Structure 1
Amino acid sequence: MIDPGLERWRLILGRPAAGALGEPDGEAAERDAALDWLYGRDDQLDRRDIRRREGGIGPSRLSTVDWLDGIVRLFPKETVERLQRDAVERYEINDIVTDPAVLERVEPNPALLRAVLRTKHLMDPEVLRLARRIVEAVVRDLTARLATEVRHSFAGARARRASRFKQARDFDAGRTIRANLRHYQPEEKRIHVETPYFLSRSRRHLAPWQVILLVDQSGSMLPSVIHSAVTAACLWGLPGVRTHLVAFDTEVVDLTADVSDPVELLMKTQLGGGTDIARAVRFAAQLIEQPRRTIVAIVSDFFEGGSEADLVRAVRGLVEQDTIVLGLAALDEQADPAYDRKCAQRLADVGATMGAMTPGELAAFVAERVGR
């Protein structure tokens, strides 16, 4: 039996720590076996000459269904989601999302959604029906959360006049600082604010804008594909906004007809293949009705598989007609991009705004332009 204070370390270190910490028993032994079923298959263990388990209830006796049932009972929800994510993304245990018996047991989460979208081409119709439950549940949650941010952004444009209603979202930092500079305390290096100022938020007629989302379908962009679909659904039907969603690899597919149903839209995406961003930008140019009231957001890692010169030329053409071009290397909750910096710099040099955004930040950017 292991000292309770050392049990966590024994689970983290695995079998190699048994000599120093001992063998777990009871529920701790079950946790140890569940962790070993997953992490014991890591090929680094062989390279580092770490001996694997030889007996017990290890990989040869646990099925995926048994393992899933066990971890739900043995670990908190956050840990279960991490284990499932590692299973499908790190070790590619695809039967978690392709085995009907497993699909009936799993609790939907974003990692499983990504796994379904990566493997849906392997599924027969019955399995696809069960997998769709995961897509629907996660997308419903994402949509509910993002819709709140979008509604907040479009609640009304801030007019440049004072308001007697003091709300943090309408705080006028610039005016407040200027008006209170006389209260600056050098020894404290701070301004004592006696009078804060706020802006009023009023609704106004919104002239129509087009928002065209061009989404790279390459596998590395999957989180951005998911959030682009949900973002487009949340923008769909808002006053003053006409939303288009176009997916591309080496081909270009206009998915605008399905924007109001992000589940159906995601089930139609085809991940992988090459990348021809220039072709997608030229397609977007054909959709534009009023160049000065259009935002084209290119969601891509900017590893151009076609002609980079053609891409730069196409983006320059949009910028020269006063269309706003956003180059988003990531559009998801983390907004942590990995992209071709040289290509991104060339696009920035011709007038595109390059960066990464969360869906809420993109909605706020659109709302600011639409409300002008």
Structure 2
Amino acid sequence: MRRWRLVLGGAGEAEGTGHELSGQDAAMDRTLAAVYGAGGGATGTGAAAGGARGAGLGGSAPRVARWLGDIRTYFPSSVVQVMQRDAIERLGLAAMLVEPEMLEAVEPDVHLVGTLLSLNQALPETSRETARAVVRKVVAELERRLATRTRATLTGALDRSARISRPRHRDVDWNATIRANLRNYLPEHRTVVPERLVGYGRAAQAVKKDVILAIDQSGSMASSVVYASVFGAVLASLRSLDTRLVVFDTSVVDLTDELDDPVDVLFGTQLGGGTDINRALAYCQTKITRPGETILVLISDLFEGGIRDEMLRRVAAMKAAGVQCVALLALSDEGAPAYDRAHAAALAELGVPAFACTPDHFPEVMAAAIRKDPLPVPDPA
């Protein structure tokens, strides 16, 4: 009855099966309805009010990207390939993905890039170069908007990450100097005598930092993958940072060698499928050689499909060794993300802040991590 109910669709007993769907079965039914539901066509909006079954992924690129990730979660790869082809044909996506002129005419954005990357393996050969050109255009725009400010912010943080006791005047940290000399306060003069100066080192004196970006490839993280790839390339361009980029689902892929070109990084990803954070962290652990100078940024919604307790033990072990760990629930402008609240709370108890971060806020987060200052966690409101 369950199988018949999934085949027939519709709302519960209306189809005569007497079988109501819930949980994962209901989610699976929605992914099927998007392509095979009654009333097909690209203008459909999914299940209508009252539970009527209707096809369509709407006009929303984020919704398409999420659907592409969902089908990899619920169906084997052989079925996924069939559903992708059917979606391209039945929902009008073919016009966008097959015709280079259409891809050149649409306004490219992060969501469109996520969709193209999700369909990477299903793209016709005639569309691959055009799709790559669209991705490159979006990446170039993101680099133009984000790179200069990121480099300036992080270079300043790296310059100031080494404290010295005999700074030049322009390098004096006056707040730290005043705190260090409060005992030398002279009430009659209402001033502090700076017996000891505290200052910032310059770039040549700063200790090189190791940064590991571990990025969840699940379908819901498509925008985060795009932004993280761009930031990875920017971080890799800074000599004082040794940057490693790792992407994962149920397997782990190290794309560090591709960091000179974020487009190559993006086409090396495979959006969708399961999530094994524990396995990804296990790999990252093997690449940590200087825990006290390492920053690990986990970008994931924390819906763990691996071994939860072991994942938390790994994080605790890295923290105890001196690694700075940060969990970004999303790296995008899409508003409040869906995430596993229990896992986020468990990480917070270990001293690992877990929060969503916009691309514009990311440089400040990284700068604070480099300086080992408290992270500027955005207000949840």
What TM bracket, shorter-length normalisation? 0.5 to 0.7
In 2: Cα distance, 1:93 partner to 1:115 partner: 14
Q: Give the structure 2 partner of residue 362 of structure 1.
A: 362
Question: What is the one-letter code of the residue matched to 1:41?
Answer: G
Question: What is the one-letter code of the residue matched to 2:44?
Answer: R
Q: 1:84 to 1:240 in 2, by over 3 A?
A: same
Say yes or no: does 1:41 pair with 2:40.
no
In 2: Cα distance, 1:162 partner to 1:295 partner: 29
In 1, are the aligned partners of 2:330 and 2:337 still within 8 Å (CA)?
yes
Q: Give the structure 2 partner of residue 132 of structure 1.
A: 132
Question: What is the one-letter code of the residue matched to 2:310?
Answer: D
Matches within 5 A, 1:108-187: 108-157=108-157
CA deviations over 1:190-239 (Å, ceiling 9, x no partner):
xxxxxxxxxx9984432111110110000011111111101101111213
Matches within 5 A, 1:312-351: 312-334=312-334, 336-351=336-351
In 1: Cα distance, 2:278 partner to 2:217 partner: 14
Question: What is the one-letter code of the residue matched to 1:103?
Answer: L
Q: Please report the RMSD computed on the Cα atoms of aligned residues, expressed in angstroms.
A: 3.5
Q: Give the structure 2 partner of residue 261 of structure 1.
A: 261
Matches within 5 A, 1:133-282: 133-157=133-157, 203-204=202-203, 205-282=205-282
In 1: Cα distance, 2:335 partner to 2:169 partner: 34
In 2, are the aligned partners of 1:211 and 1:241 still within 8 Å (CA)?
yes
Question: What is the one-letter code of the residue matched to 1:150?
Answer: T
In 1, are the aligned partners of 2:41 and 2:92 still within 8 Å (CA)?
no
CA deviations over 1:237-274 (Å, ceiling 9, x no partner):
21321111000011000010111111111011101121
How far did residue 369 of structure 1 move? 4.0
Runs (5+) with no aligned partner, structure 1: 1-36, 50-81, 165-169, 176-199
In 2: Cα distance, 1:354 partner to 1:87 partner: 25
In 1, are the aligned partners of 2:215 and 2:299 still within 8 Å (CA)?
yes
Q: 1:322 to 1:201 in 2, by over 3 A?
A: closer
Q: 1:281 to 1:40 in 2, by over 3 A?
A: closer
Question: What is the one-letter code of the residue matched to 1:303?
Answer: F
Q: Give the structure 2 partner of residue 67 of structure 1.
A: none
In 2: Cα distance, 1:367 partner to 1:43 partner: 43
In 2: Cα distance, 1:350 partner to 1:247 partner: 23
Runs (5+) with no aligned partner, structure 2: 1-39, 53-57, 68-86, 179-198, 373-381
How far did residue 139 of structure 1 move? 0.6
In 2: Cα distance, 1:171 partner to 1:145 partner: 32
Q: 1:38 to 1:145 in 2, by over 3 A?
A: farther
SS of the equivalent of 2:310 reads helix
In 1, are the aligned partners of 2:111 and 2:223 still within 8 Å (CA)?
no
Moved more, 98-107 or 243-252: 98-107
Q: 1:327 to 1:335 in 2, by over 3 A?
A: farther
Q: 1:39 to 1:218 in 2, by over 3 A?
A: closer
CA deviations over 1:262-302 (Å, ceiling 9, x no partner):
11110111011211101111111111111011011111111
Q: Give the structure 2 partner of residue 16 of structure 1.
A: none
SS of the equivalent of 1:368 reads helix
In 2: Cα distance, 1:147 partner to 1:171 partner: 30
In 2: Cα distance, 1:263 partner to 1:88 partner: 21
Moved more, 219-228 or 113-122: 113-122
Q: 1:104 to 1:363 in 2, by over 3 A?
A: closer
Q: 1:305 to 1:40 in 2, by over 3 A?
A: closer
In 1, are the aligned partners of 2:303 and 2:340 still within 8 Å (CA)?
yes
Q: 1:349 to 1:140 in 2, by over 3 A?
A: same
In 1: Cα distance, 2:92 partner to 2:225 partner: 22
Please report the TM-score for the alignment, with normalisation by the length of structure 2: 0.63
Q: Give the structure 2 partner of residue 59 of structure 1.
A: none
Question: What is the one-letter code of the residue matched to 1:341?
Answer: R
How far did residue 162 of structure 1 move? 12
Q: 1:253 to 1:110 in 2, by over 3 A?
A: same
Q: Give the structure 1 partner of residue 98 of structure 2.
A: 99
Question: What is the one-letter code of the residue matched to 2:138?
Answer: V
SS of the equivalent of 2:333 reads coil
Aligned residues: 275
